[in-house]
Amino acid sequence: MTRRVLLHVGTPKTGTSYLQDVLFRNTRALAEAGISYPAHRFDAHFLAALDLMRMPWGGLEAEAIGAWDALAARVRAHEGTSIVSHEILATASRTQVGRALASLGHGDGAEVHVLLSVRDLVRQIPAEWQENVKHRSRIRYAEFLEQIRDPDRATRIGSWFWGVQEVPDILDRWGHDLPPERVHLITVPPPGGGPELLWRRFSHAFGLDEVDLDLHAERSNPSLGVPETALLRRINAAAHRELAPADYRPLVRELLAHQTLSQRTGSPRLSLPPDLHPWVAELTEQWLAELRRRRYDVVGDLEDLVGAVPDPRRWADPDKPVEAQVARAGVAAVTALLLDNARLRHEEERLAGELAQAHEALHRAYLRPTYRLREKLVARLQGGRAGRALLKVYRVARGRSSLAA
Amino acid sequence: MTPTARAWVAHLTAGGTTPWAQWRAAADHATADTGGEPDPGGTARHLRYLPGAQQLELLRRLNEAGRPGPALAERVLATSAPGRGIADLELVGAARDTPFGPRPVDPADLPDAELVRVATGLLAEDVVAGGPAAPEPGRRAWPWRRRYRLVGDPWLADPARAELVRRRRPPGGQQPTVHVVGADLASMLEHVWSARALVGAAPAWRDWLDPLVRRRRVPPRIDLPAVAGAWATRVGPVRVRVVLDPALLPGLLGTRAPLPGPLPLSADALELSRRVGAALGLLVLPEQRTRLLQQAWAPALADLPAARGTGVAVPQRRLARLTEVATRMREELCRADYPVLGDPDLLLPAATRRSDVEPTDAGVLALALAMVLGPTPGASPGSSAGPSPGNGPAPDEEER
């Protein structure tokens, strides 16, 4: 059987969290169809990507040590199709790409396919800024836009943004050693296209049409509105020194951003400033010409990358949000934190009750006459050299060194 | 990959030092794009892609500094810089004409910090491969040793404690006396950062120092009144001493032989350690990183003459504010009910102390190249045991 590796390398904000969640929750169904999604935890491929690219990520890198080689070994061991998916792989260097492909069996009998899901820059630019804010950044939108427009890409923001979003360059790095028919572009439908259409494209590209999958999502990476993102940026500015990354992730990113603020769908949506649209349109035209020339396999339509022209009447600047809207988002955030705090208090009370019961049981055990007799005997023996030696012999004979008895 | 670029890679792999611009000009002049030099190393033939400009320039600099050998050359070309930052860049004149990707560069124009990034990845791999020094066999503690604990300034306390352990005088035991070691506040700040550079994951010197001084904060370990006060509450004030004169320590700890000071590492050496520590954190767990940095990396680095020096120094313009904080600490110590050994005025930074010593990228790169190439021939093993009195600042420690 030919070993096939479907390597999905990005891009961020193209439904990748949903795809990875479905794959992770359906590993058994996939295995029955001969498809391996080798992940022992939902973020296993993220850790492997961190390891491959030797990238720090707020302490998670310590959990990533050796993860790529372990993943690659599982892929090589599977006779059939394996899927590897994480969006930060988009930013891998040529050297890292070379190592990744070789470790997955490219050039050694495996048929490696690279898949890239892509979305128009009109939506990707604001989404990437929002991702930065959800990862502790305090950068304002205007400053972010300025940095990504700097042709030198000398800043961290500029370097990262184009590393994970410049589709022709990503495919230069990942696809330079593959025939074009093994490079697959999956386009995200335009706004209003519906999530089912995107899933159908994923399903087709990954060859999952015949597999009976549970498509109920438990994890996703939902978007925030303008006042909610502005609020989060202010929280970052106020709390980033005090709040460790390990606490930030569950409290701010998960509880506040994903579970609370993303539910507020009535607020103004984040968008590209209308005056930047001509620049984006020109860039997109260049991309489309290049991608058409390369003749990759396209699932969807390259025209999806053109993006809608932003409506100036609906433009809301997140650097100058309507303060009343931010205040309302703030109330929602405080409420969520209070409710979570109350939940934790109840949990603390329950645990304190359990601990008290355990103490009481222990105390009752101490009150038994045999225990008190043994306690007296040990105290007496410890008073003299011979007694201590006797105790030592007893403990050695008993086989453990506990001083309890 | 153009033939000229391929030939340049082969030239570098064979130990060549010609900069890319010169190589390209010579190739243009010869009007033969096959290059003016044969491909002697063979490495370039099987390369499927052109390595990044950072890797190529680092290899060229290594060739200038020594003889890296083919295996190391191949490793350099195959290693991307760890962490986030500028992507691997293409060579100007060798990349195909495309508007996509970062702009191609002349490798000679790359900042030194970019080359250091690549070098730290190689050095971290070397440190992991070498492993930590074998632990000394555990020996029974000397029964009549003086019971003590040594806390406070980590740069002073840690090497002294390690030496005492080696002399069979481990800390702890029944009713120990707690010695809180300190120095002037500016030195203690320099010491805390230096110690953190050898633990791993320290911020850059000024990124760490400036907010602390601005907010008049003192790191917990060197807040001497707070440390001594906490111990006094725990063990009683009669068993706590604040020691501001480290020369008193051997007598207080019941040992006649002098205790060693910290490793005499220059600002550049500490900065390189910090950056290698960051790269090490991607290869091993935090505890192992600290062990490797302190037991394998730092002694090897200190054996390098160019790495020796007196460390970073607080900028002159920060001293006034530090003096304010130190004065407050001195007053608290004078009011306390535990003894303070040494003049409390020693806490105040002297106006004549050295200042404004910071790492430079050029100095850090020079050390990184030397370490990638391996231990310097002639460096005597074990010469890093303690500071030598005649050690002046390394040439690369001059004020910016």
Note the pLDDT tens digit of each residue in B339-394. 999 999 999 998 788 889 999 999 999 999 999 998 643 333 333 333 333 333 33
**Interchain pair B100, A176: CB under 8 A:** no
Write the residue in B51, B85, B103 that is nearest to A151 by C-beta. Answer: B103
Q: What residue spans define the domains of chain B? A: 3-109, 148-373
Note the pLDDT tens digit of each residue in A356-398. 999 998 888 877 888 888 888 888 888 888 888 888 888 888 8
Around Cβ B255, how many Cβ atoms within 10 Å? 18
Between residues A402 and A86, the one the model is more confident about = A86
Q: What is the mean pLDDT of chain B?
A: 87
Q: Give A-chain residues touching B96 at CB under 8 angstroms.
A: none
**Interchain pair B55, A55: CB under 8 A:** no
- Which one of B47, B55, B80, B98 makes the best mutation probe of the A interface by having the most chain A beta carbons within 10 Å? B80
A159 min Cα distance to partner chain B (Å): 6
Q: Give A-chain residues touching B279 at CB under 8 angstroms.
A: 54
Token digits of residue B373? 């190439």
Cα–Cα distance list, A309 to A15, A120, B92, B190 (Å): 22, 11, 36, 55
Note the pLDDT tens digit of each residue in B125-154. 999 999 876 776 777 888 888 999 999 999
- Which one of B46, B84, B97, B98 makes the best mutation probe of the A interface by having the most chain A beta carbons within 10 Å? B84
Using pLDDT thresholds of 50, 70 and 90, give the confidence band for residue A120: very high
pLDDT at residue B144, rounded to an integer: 83
Token digits of residue B223? 């807040």
**Interchain pair A65, B284: CB under 8 A:** yes
Query: Tokens 């010609």 label which residue?
Result: B18
Write the residue in B51, B84, B99 that is nearest to A156 by C-beta. Answer: B84
Chain A residue at shortest CA distance from B50: A94
pLDDT at residue B375, rounded to an integer: 65
Token digits of residue B218? 């003192």
pLDDT at residue A395, rounded to an integer: 83
Query: Tokens 């939108």 label which residue?
Result: A141
| B240-243 vs B340-341, strand pairing mode | parallel
Phi-psi region of A10 (alpha: psi -120 to 50; beta: other; left: phi over 0): left
B77 min Cα distance to partner chain A (Å): 8
CA–CA separation, A35 and A46 (whole Å): 19
With residue B222 as reference, give the H or E element that holds it: none
Q: Is B75 helix (H, G, I), strand (E, B) or coil?
A: helix
Is the predicted pLDDT of residue B41 greater than 50, yes or no?
A: no
Smallest CA-to-CA distance from B338 within B246, B250, B233, B253 is with: B233
pLDDT at residue A216, rounded to an integer: 84
pLDDT at residue B200, rounded to an integer: 87
**Interchain pair A176, B49: CB under 8 A:** yes
Chain B residue at shortest CA distance from A61: B282
- Which one of B1, B47, B49 makes the best mutation probe of the A interface by having the most chain A beta carbons within 10 Å? B49
pLDDT at residue A267, rounded to an integer: 95
Using pLDDT thresholds of 50, 70 and 90, give the confidence band for residue A400: low
Measured between alpha carbons, how far apart are the two ends of chain A, in Å? 63
B100 min Cα distance to partner chain A (Å): 6
CA–CA separation, A169 and A283 (whole Å): 13
Using pLDDT thresholds of 50, 70 and 90, give the confidence band for residue A242: confident
CA–CA separation, A383 and A385 (whole Å): 7
Alpha helices in chain B (DSSP H): 3-13, 20-29, 43-46, 53-65, 69-77, 112-130, 154-166, 185-197, 205-214, 224-235, 249-252, 267-280, 286-292, 298-302, 319-335, 361-373
pTM for the complete prediction? 0.85
Write the residue in B55, B84, B100 that is nearest to A55 by C-beta. Answer: B84
Residue % of chain A over a pLDDT of 90: 80
CB pairs < 8 Å spanning A and B: 86
Sign of CA dihedral B5, B7, B12, B16: negative
Q: Which domains does chain A have, with CATH numbers?
A: 4-122+147-222+272-307 (3.40.50), 370-405 (no CATH)
**Interchain pair B82, A55: CB under 8 A:** yes
With residue B243 as reference, give the H or E element that holds it: strand B240-243
**Interchain pair A169, B82: CB under 8 A:** no
Smallest CA-to-CA distance from A120 within A304, A270, A299 is with: A304
**Interchain pair B87, A91: CB under 8 A:** yes
Half-sphere exposure (Cβ direction) of B393: Cα atoms closer than 13 Å: 17
- The edge-to-edge listing of strands for the beta sheet with A35-36 is A35-36, A81-85, A4-8, A111-118, A183-187, A297-299
Chain A residue at shortest CA distance from B110: A154
Write the residue in A61, A98, A286 that is nearest to B281 by C-beta. Answer: A61
